Every structure is written in C-alpha cells, then in structure tokens.
Amino acid sequence: MPVLNFGSLNVDHVYSVDHFVAPGETLSSTAYRINAGGKGLNQSVALGRAGVETFHAGMIGQDGLFLKETLEAAGVNTDHVIIGDLPTGHAVIQVEKKSGQNSILLYPGANMAIPDDEMRRILRTMPVGSWLLLQNEINDIPFLIREGKSCGLKVAINPAPCTDAVRSWPLQLCDLIMVNEIEAAQLTASTGTFRQMASAMAERFPGSEVVVTLGKEGAIYRHGNEEIIVPARVVKAVDTTSAGDTFTGYFLAAKLRGMNAEDAMKCAVYASSITVSRPGAAASIPSADEVF
C-alpha cells in the first residue's frame, strides 16, 4: 500500500557564526548554506529511499521549487505539492561554530495555508487501506485525521513539535503514534522511566500502536500488553538532525514490507544510526540497500 505524507516543506537558511547575534548587534556569518528541510520533507525522503510508494502533499511558494526536486530525487511523487502565493515556509538558523548549538527562527509560510477543500480532494485520491502520515508543521491536522479515517486510510502521526493544542487532537483515531520521551510526557502528563511513559501512552491510546524513541537509548514499542525495547547502536554521532524522521520513515516502511513490530523497530533504529553518523538533514538519510 502507498503512503500519503501530508507534511511541511521548508527552506533552511543556515548561518555559521562565532556566537549568536545579540539584540542591536550586526554580526557577519562565516559560512552560509541553503538546505531542504521540514519534518514532512525529511520523512517523505526516508520513505522514498526505503522503496515505499510515497506521495507528498503540502504547499510551497515559487521560492521552494527545489524542494519538489529534492523529493523527486528520492523517488517521491509530488503531484499533490501545491504552489501557492505565500512564501515557502523557512527557517533562519544560526549555528555556533565552537559549540555546535543552534538558534532557529521559523516562518511557517505556505505550510499553514493549505485549503481544507484541497486536503479533502487529495485524501480521496488514495486507495482504501493506504497510510496517511502526519506531523505538526502544517495547518488543520485534526481535520486531516478525521477526514483520513473517513476515507478508509490508516493514520500514522508524529505529533512534533508537541504544542499544547496536540493534547486536544483526536489521536485516539490514529493507528500508529510515534513520539520521543519529551512528547510522551507532554501528551500523558506523566513522568518516570521511559517504560512508564510508554505504558502511559498505551493506556491513553489503547487502540493505537505506540513507539517512543529514546535517542541514545534506542526505542520502545507498546501495543496492548506487548512491549518491545530495542537498544540504540553505538556510533559516532555527527549530526542528529534527521534521526527521528529517519526512524519514522523506516519503521513505517518496514511494516509495509510485512515485518513484525520487533524487526521493524530494529530496522528503524539501524537506519537512524546511519543518519546520525553523517552530516546534513535529508542528505544524511540512508537508502534501502544500506538498511534492508
């Protein structure tokens, strides 16, 4: 079955600086680059490189046409990428050379202006039983969840960034919920060990498969009484930017290949370990022949 990813498309403007610019200060950057970004784009790239038939839906402006090219190069269908009048969503990112820390100013732009009637039309192009993948970087996610289910789609969601509004979303309708430890704590108002947080997620969403990613500790899966813990692989981390997006894409890809939950978890952890060992965002995501 194919995957329709309704997700963000961002242009990342990355500036290398000696220190973060202060109020009233003018600071010269020592380097500058433009990257394709957005959680939606990264997850579609992961799915496409994993060999999944993937359709990306979203909105860009004329300034974001190269994002379509990035998706297409990964094997993703971009027929549902709308070109609108607003500027493409973009981020201004300062990266402090010495520490590697970053400071990000985000402009959502076209990502937050997708018309509901276009959403409904696109959803209805997908065969019953297809997967709908969502994050939290475009508008009207609750509408997409409900409409997706009414169209007979399976819904997977990675509700990041996890804002206060997410707690009121109809997440109980989702077939698969993927979060990190911080997001799990926000959604359940719980604290404790990662197993306790995964348990709290499973109790709140008993009809959903739940995956909690744990960074250097790996990931945990819960569905009903089934619990699977997969440790992370030990690698030298160079850039963790797309680790979570790679995990999401490859976990779903492995499920679509017919793998059971444990093997899908191992596959996703392995793919993420490759990603963090390389610099860059979408460019660091591995191909299927490196993972499967």
Catalytic residue positions?
245
Q: Tell which residue, 152, 168, 155, has the closest CA to residue 5.
A: 155
Q: CA 271, CA 236: separation in Å to the nearest integer?
A: 14
* Cα dihedral sign, 292-8-163-165: negative
Q: CA 130, CA 169: separation in Å to the nearest integer?
A: 21
Q: CA 61, CA 53: separation in Å to the nearest integer?
A: 25
Contacts of 56 (CB under 8 A, 6+ apart): 5, 7, 9, 40, 41, 44, 71, 76, 77, 78, 80, 81
Q: CA 15, CA 258: separation in Å to the nearest integer?
A: 42
Q: CA 124, CA 145: separation in Å to the nearest integer?
A: 13
- Give the CA-trace dihedral at 99, 100, 106, 109, to 10 degrees: 160
Strand, helix or coil for residue 11: strand
